[in-house]
Amino acid sequence: MESKKQEFSLWYLIIAGVATLMLQLYISQAGVNTLAYSEFKALLKAGNIREVTLGETALSGTLLTTGVEKVLPPDRAETLKLAKEPEHVFTAVRVNDPGLIADLDAAHVRYSGQADARWIGTLLSWVVPVMIFFGIWSLLIRRIGGAGGFGGGLMEIGKSKAKVYLQQQTGVTFADVAGIDEAKGELMEVVDFLKTPDRYRRLGGKIPKGVLLLGAPGTGKTLLARAVAGEAGVPFFSMSGSEFVELFVGVGAARVRDLFAQAEQRAPCIIFIDELDALGKTRSLNVAGGQDEREQTLNQLLVEMDGFDTNKGVIIMAATNRPEILDAALLRPGRFDRHVVLDRPDLKGREQILRVHVRNVSLAPSVELGQLAARTPGFAGADLANLVNEAALLAARKNKSAVDSDDFDEALDRIIGGLEKRNRIMIPLEKQTIAYHEAGHALVAEHRPHADRVSRVSIIPRGVAALGYTQQTPTEDRYLLRRSELLDRLDVLLGGRVAEQIVFGDVSTGAENDLQRATDIARQMITQYGMSESLGLPCYERTGANMLPMTAAMSRPEREYGEQTAQAIDEEIRRTLAQSAERVRQTLAAEREKLDLLAGLLLEKEVVDRAGLDALMNTPQVASPVAEPTAA
């Protein structure tokens, strides 16, 4: 798109004229002294004039400076600075002097005549400086506001910063997107319209003006938008919502106008606005007065979306993970008509995503992507890409020829638990406490029918505060949980603390996170799911509407009950947790020998995998309890 013409100002012409006049005067007078005609006649008689050029209105020539102070007054000689050089150029205005030629002949001065060429002098003294000034001025304007100017240019502040990817240069097609087949199916209609728009126009159908991609971070919203452009083979304008808003008022609205103007010239094309929530937050009353730059930008976006015709082939796509804060005017029909939700992939989707990311990775035959996908519930596409990359880096660090299962196990542990810290010094009692704590989690999980299977138990410190962990692998993806399944999860969470209480008769601070998660589950069962016999079916708390599951889980529920009900809820939470702790106590007391055996195995090997846990659970051998270390 052609850039807008710079606004002309009269000040430019005035400054250019003054600068040119000063330059012309400096050039024409530099190194030339002007003599009065009487001074010229005196110097001629004294023999200080060497040659003269006679013009119609002026004369010029060369004078000898030796002895000139004897002819001219001292102050005049010093003013003209004639004594510093042996010869000097002079000029004088010619007067009507009939005896001038005779005086020149008498002084034996060489003289010649010259016709005045005024247009040449004007050209040299005016036009050339103007051209020089214009060149300098153009360079400055280019530096301030040109496309290649330093820092993007002040004059470019109102222009769109959208990155344009033409044709297949996005480098992404639907073949590079996996695990979100439903979302791809929704967007295939957009691709089909961009490829064959006549099929829709002849029936009077209109493609949706805007497509809003909703999903948790890392689920592939930006990747999917680029794949649509790559699949359709059309220009792709990519810009973040935060890039519209600047310090100067009106810049955001100007960038919106410029972006849509560029898109219409390159139609058919796709405009993609990432992180729309940075631009499209709900408008509110500004109590401080004045104009809000973000609201002006949003208003301009709404106007532009109303003003262009989808039949021209301009499709607007946007992505956000916070739809609950978007302005309602953005979401109404006629703007962002279609909402495509990208959920976290299921088991099959995770396996497909892993296959996409391992295309360029050398895998060992022992790697089974299906099992790896089962061990990564809740992982989004970005998380799985990071997992593959971490495993490849670990294999390269060990100089392996291929990435094997051990590398993926270590990479998964690093992502979930953090960096391994084997050098952390722990006293024997702390290490033993951690071993019994993790053994309690694992044994309770093995004795609960609805709990996820334990795949790995470790007492190696990781991350900031994790001193050990018990990793569980779901057998399948679950979208609904029954009351019995939630109670089993409560039991597993309390298994570590109860194990410490049984073995040592005391508890540690290591169960802080377990207690917090258990309390959250118990509160949700009572206040949101109606799973309490004493409080009944009412829903006492609710999360915000129109929220993604991830956003709703992090938000604080709205309280809709009084103090008496709050007291009853607290009593019910304590009773639920106490009942769970009693069930766990009975299980671990019955399996005390295996608890000691698993704790001893962890103290010996630090890590117990699924095979080691199966061998321990099936062994009939009874081990003696591990002796508690005595204080020094």
Query: CATH 3.40.50.300: which residues of the chain?
Result: 163-342
- Asked whether 143 and 37 are in contact (CB, 8 A), the reply is no
Alpha carbons 214 and 180: distance in angstroms, whole number? 12
Q: Which CATH architecture has domain 428-527+580-618?
A: Up-down Bundle (1.20)
Contact (Cβ atoms closer than 8 angstroms) between residue 457 and residue 617: no
Bridge partners (DSSP) listed for residue 536: 532
Q: How far apart are CA 308 and CA 265, in angstroms?
A: 12
Cβ atoms of 26 and 49 within 8 Å: the answer is no
Taking the domain 347-417, which CATH number applies?
A: 1.10.8.60
Q: What is the rounded distance in angstroms from the CA atom of residue 45 to the CA atom of residue 95? A: 17
Residue type (1 letter), 466: A
List pLDDT tens digits, range 333-386.
Answer: 888 888 888 888 888 888 889 998 898 888 888 888 888 888 888 888 888 999
Listed in order, the ranges of the chain carrying CATH 3.30.720.210 are: 31-116
Task: Give the per-residue pLDDT at 194.
Answer: 77
Classify residue 546 as left (phi > 0), alpha (psi -120 to 50) or beta.
left
* Residue 554: predicted pLDDT: 52
Place of tokens 């005196």: 42
Longest alpha-carbon distance in the chain: 143
Ranges for all domains in the chain classified under CATH 1.10.8.60: 347-417
Rounded CA-CA distance 280/299 in Å is 9
The pair phi, psi for residue 234, each rounded to 5°, is -120, 160
User: To which residue do tokens 């709404």 refer?
Assistant: 302
**Exposure of 241 by Cβ count < 10 A (0-12 exposed, 13-18 middle, 19+ buried)?**
buried
Residue 540 to residue 554: CA distance in whole angstroms: 18
Q: Which residues pair with 316 in a beta bridge?
A: 210, 271
CATH entry, 163-342, from 2.30.40.10, 3.40.50.2020, 3.40.50.2300, 3.40.50.300: 3.40.50.300
Query: For tokens 């291929």, what's the residue?
Result: 402
The Cα-based distances of 113 to 43, 56, 116, 123, 376 in angstroms read 20, 9, 10, 22, 101
* Rounded Cα distance, 413 and 396, in Å: 18
Phi then psi dihedrals of residue 226, to 5 deg: -65, -30
Cα→Cα distances 470→409, 410, 441, 455, Å: 14, 14, 7, 8
**Interacting residues of 422 by C-beta distance below 8 A, sequence separation 6+:** 460, 461
Token pair recorded at residue 542: 């609710």
SS3 label, residue 89: strand
Start-to-end CA span in the chain (Å): 80
Total residues found in the chain within this entry: 632
Smallest CA-to-CA distance from 186 within 218, 214, 167 is with 214
Look up the pTM and report it.
Answer: 0.65
8 A C-beta contact, residue 20 and residue 134: no
Token pair, residue 38, equals 């009487």
Query: How do strand 87-93 and strand 210-215 relate by DSSP bridges?
Result: unpaired
β 49-54/110-113 pair status: parallel
Residue pair 508/449 in contact by the 8 Å Cβ criterion: no
Evaluated on CA atoms 542, 548, 551, 554, the torsion sign reads: positive
According to DSSP H, which parts of 308-404 are helical?
328-331, 347-357, 369-374, 381-397
Extended beta strands in 65-152, E state: 87-93, 110-113
Name residues of the chain where pLDDT drops below 70: 1-14, 16-17, 19-33, 77-85, 115-128, 140-170, 205, 246-250, 284-291, 308-312, 420-424, 463-465, 475, 543-559, 620-632
Catalytic sites, residue numbers = 438
State CA 129 to chain mean position distance.
48
- Residue 385: Cβ within 10 Å count: 18
Look at strands 58-64 and 49-54 and give their pairing.
antiparallel
Give the type of residue at 85: E
CA atoms within 13 A on the CB side of 265: 8
Summarize pLDDT for 88-146 with one digit per residue, the tens: 777 888 888 888 888 888 888 888 877 655 555 556 666 667 777 777 777 766 665 44
Residue range(s) occupied by CATH 1.20.58.760 in the chain: 428-527+580-618
CATH of domain 31-116: 3.30.720.210
H or E element that contains 212 = strand 210-215
CA 140 to CA 149: how far, in whole Å?
9
